[in-house]
Amino acid sequence: MASPELSIDRNKVLRAGTTRRRFLTWAGVAGALAFTPGLVSSPTAFPSPAARGDHVFALGVASGDPLSDAVILWTRLAPEPLAPRGGMSESDVPVDWEIALDNKFANVVRRGTVNATARDAHSVHVDVRGLEPSTEYYYRFRSGGHISDVGRTRTAPAASADVAGMTFAWASCQAWADGFFNAYGDMASAAPDVVFHLGDYIYEKPIPADGGRRGSSAMPSSCHSEAHSLDDYRDRYALYKLDPHLQAAHRTSPFIVTFDDHEIENNWAADISEDSAPLPEFLTRRAGALKAWWENTPVRATVHPTRGDIRIYRRFTFGNLAEFSVLDTRQYRSDQVNGDTDGPLNRLTADPARTITGDVQERWILDGLGSSTARWNVLAHQTPMADLARSRRGSRAVSMDAWSGYEASRKRVLDGVRARGVENLVSIVGDIHRSVVSELKTTYTRPAPAVGVEIAGTSIASGADGSDSDEGDRELKAASPHVKFGNSQRGYVLNTLSRSSWEATFRVAESIADPGNTLHTRATITIPSARPEVLVT
């Protein structure tokens, strides 16, 4: 059931999204959600992590990486999610899957059987091909006499399609012990066409023995210490994926997922550990963490890590309306400078030899933007590109971990955007546990025109409740005149795109201390097409 406070004008959304093949399907989704058991639910009581034991699909289902003719279907067998190997044996297990045009599965369009292998923690990644563009599908799995929940997914429009509108959401940063994942229940009620997760899906840091706000004697002991091994990371994904709100969001919309730092270690850079761990030790840790990420993420088999590396930067096109370049700003970056603490820009941050994307990915970004025919050109990535400066001891302090610490890298990309005449550039990011809307500029230390807009979304839970306006917001607004909006409550960003405008709605909770707390709309910002400006309502 939709939240009573979800103040989205669905008639307006439908008018914006009408095409010859309508991409937005609010009416169809609402009808389906009303009578599909297990598709969307708002739990009245939050279960303990072990509550769904003895069911091989206890970790839920998900879909992701939608193309115009394909989508990934995911699940992971785990009858005892928090036990070693999820309660599974070392044997491979056959899993049946099917995908249909209706939630009763009267019109099945594809079905098959795959092996869930012990090598991949009995995870399943089915790359379903031959689907129709802009089409809603339902899917489910069977194994060992068990049937999974029903999931809803949606293919993207054809690249050449004339698309007038779409909805999407994004989220990031969900520390288990900091609060409940209320935002995902609200997101599931909104049923966006696609969801982007921009990193920090799990946290490697120790979870207090009492679980913070989620105490449970069933929590694996490995979660009480920092994750280092493959099994440690697998345990964390199992724990997080037992959250019913998160499961509901995954059941309702396809996800496009990237990772940031906490999936491995805070503020890591390429093969460099924040804690200066020896290279072989850190590479082993990174390889295990990346494998666990792949096992628990609805991405293609082609993204599977090889020799400890993984290519996650990729591109998704939604007709002629929007093209999303999903970036990787961790694996190829230079080490952070100036002690990796907030501080002033200097010769080190301006060093042209340093990069946050690597040379190959930088060319890929600019080649893609230069050849795009979409109305909206979106960079979906981890850390803010804009300078989000604060005044500290009379100096202008910025983050060394974000693009501000890699000035030349940022300038090369944004200069390339200007040189190629790219319009409607929007950067969407997470990481900073607050919502910030700002202008994108090639430099922030002297007057420069805006070449785009950046929207940083707040965290799902990291940082606990937050507040409507804190000292950080006030410092940002005082030192960064290009910042147009700020808020540090928990939630996510729900977006409606049309050919004339981008509307971003900030859905936030007053508190995430209780899983039953609802979200409300804090603000809506509008970006007019062909004008890099921000209107806040």
Give DSSP secondary structure letters for 428-478.
Answer: EE-SSSSEEEEEE-S-SSS-----EEEEE---SSTTTT--SS-HHHHHHHH
Q: Contact 355/411 with Cβ under 8 angstroms? A: no
End-to-end CA distance of the chain: 27
Confidence of residue 10 (pLDDT cuts 50, 70, 90): very low
Mean pLDDT for 190-208 is 97
Tens digits of residue pLDDT in 471-516: 777 778 788 889 999 999 999 999 999 999 999 999 999 999 999 9
- Band (pLDDT 50/70/90 cuts) for residue 306 is confident
Q: Give the mean pLDDT of the chain.
A: 89
**Residue showing tokens 């399943």:** 124
Candidate from 160-174, 199-213, 314-328 with smallest mean pLDDT? 199-213
* Cα distance between residue 414 and residue 451, in whole Å: 7
Q: What percent of the chain has pLDDT over 90?
A: 80
Look at residue 2 in the predicted model and tell me its pLDDT. Answer: 37
The answer to whether the Cα torsion of 413, 414, 417, 422 is positive or negative is positive
Collapsed DSSP state (helix, strand, coil) of residue 369: helix
Q: Range with the lowest mean pLDDT among 172-186, 200-214, 251-265? A: 200-214
Alpha-carbon torsion angle 517, 518, 524, 530, nearest 10:
100
27-36, 235-244, 287-296, 395-404, range with the lowest pLDDT: 27-36
State the CB neighbour count (10 A cutoff) for residue 35: 9
At 15, is the pLDDT very low, low, confident or very high (cuts 50, 70, 90)? Answer: very low
Q: Give the per-residue pLDDT at 365.
A: 98
Q: What is the pLDDT of residue 209?
A: 78
pLDDT at 218: 74
Percent of residues, the chain, with pLDDT higher than 70: 88
Radius of gyration of the chain (CA): 22
pLDDT tens by residue, 340-356: 999 999 999 999 999 99
User: What φ, ψ does residue 362 adopt, rounded to 5°?
Assistant: -60, -45
Give residues with Cβ within 8 angstroms of 416, minimum separation 6: 365, 366, 369, 370
Q: For residues 335 and 276, give the distance between their C-alpha atoms in angstroms, rounded to a whole number.
A: 11
Q: Who has greater pLDDT, 95 or 40?
A: 95
Q: Please give the sequence-ordered ranges of beta strands (E in DSSP) within 292-419, or none if there are none.
A: 314-318, 322-326, 376-380, 390-392, 395-397
CA dist 491 and 494 (Å) reads 10
pLDDT at 215: 57
Is the pLDDT confidence value at 27 over 90?
Answer: no
For 386-418, write each residue's pLDDT tens digit. 999 988 777 889 999 999 999 999 999 999 999
The answer on pLDDT for 239 being more than 60 is yes
Per 3-state DSSP, what percentage of the chain is helix, strand, and coil (rounded to 5)?
Answer: 25, 25, 50
Q: Is the pLDDT of residue 161 over 50?
A: yes
Q: How far is CA 399 from the centre of its chain?
A: 21
Average pLDDT over residues 266-285: 96
pLDDT, residue 13, reads 30
pLDDT band at 469 (very low <50, low <70, confident <90, very high): confident
* pLDDT higher than 60, residue 42: no
The structure's pTM equals 0.91
Q: Summarize the confidence of residues 418-441 as an average pLDDT.
A: 97
pLDDT at 123: 98
DSSP state of 489: S
Which pLDDT band holds residue 23 (cuts at 50, 70, 90)?
Answer: very low
Least confident of 138-152, 249-263, 270-284, 381-395: 381-395
